[in-house]
Amino acid sequence: MLEDINRTLAKCFGWVSTVLPLGLKFFAIAVAVAAVFLFFDFRTLGLLFLLIGCFCAFFFRDPKRETVFTDDEIACPADGTVLSIKTEDDPNSVVVRIFLSIFDVHVQRATVNGKIGDIFYNKGTFLFANNPEADKNERNLIQIFKNGDPSRFAHVEQITGAIARRIECWVSPKQDIKIGGHLGLVRFGSQVAVYLPKEKVRVLVKEGQKVQGGITVLGLWK
């Protein structure tokens, strides 16, 4: 009985130990505001800010993932739902777009072992991240080349949503990166796009599929 209770609690609250420092900062601010409201007996507002604090902590979780990928596998860079898999502006590339709800883990991860190329930040609109026109939103493209080979790329683009207004990039150009390694984070609902060489990759995921960053195999090198 006690073991069952411990397993249930671990399943429900195990994420608490994975919260990023930034999440703890937002949590502390919200709790401080809640304490002030509760002190002056504004209970509704106090409880509201407590809920906001808990949500912020939950949003900024970063679960440990140590999935081992083979050399021909491409890792999914984000948690979420696959929106589309298609050729867009570049006829030689296939683009996989993933929608991240506010309840998904929002840390982005490297798709392959290799080297970071250039990083391109573009200002844009703030449409909802599941909108077909969200590719014009504010975004940050991180070039990633498998083992430094420019013909084998698996670029990751961080895209804001209607609520998300802040992109965090944790890597730099020319930096070596391991598959599943941290790339950055987009705050509060977003989209992530992966750009792959069309003739050199076989995409395994399907539209509508739920995926996990650093766990799901996105595709295979031919």
Cβ atoms of 61 and 81 closer than 8 Å: no
Active site residues: 190
Query: Which residues in the chain belong to E strands, given as ranges?
Result: 73-75, 80-86, 93-100, 107-109, 114-122, 139-146, 155-160, 167-169, 176-177, 182-186, 190-197, 201-203, 210-211, 217-221
The two most distant CA atoms of the chain are separated, in Å, by 65
Region for residue 188 given its phi and psi (left: phi exceeds 0; alpha: psi -120 to 50; beta: otherwise): left
* Residue spans of alpha helices (H) in the chain: 2-13, 21-39, 43-59
Amino acid letter, 25: K
Q: What are phi and psi of 73, to 5 degrees?
A: -100, 145
Q: What are phi and psi of 32, to 5 degrees?
A: -65, -45
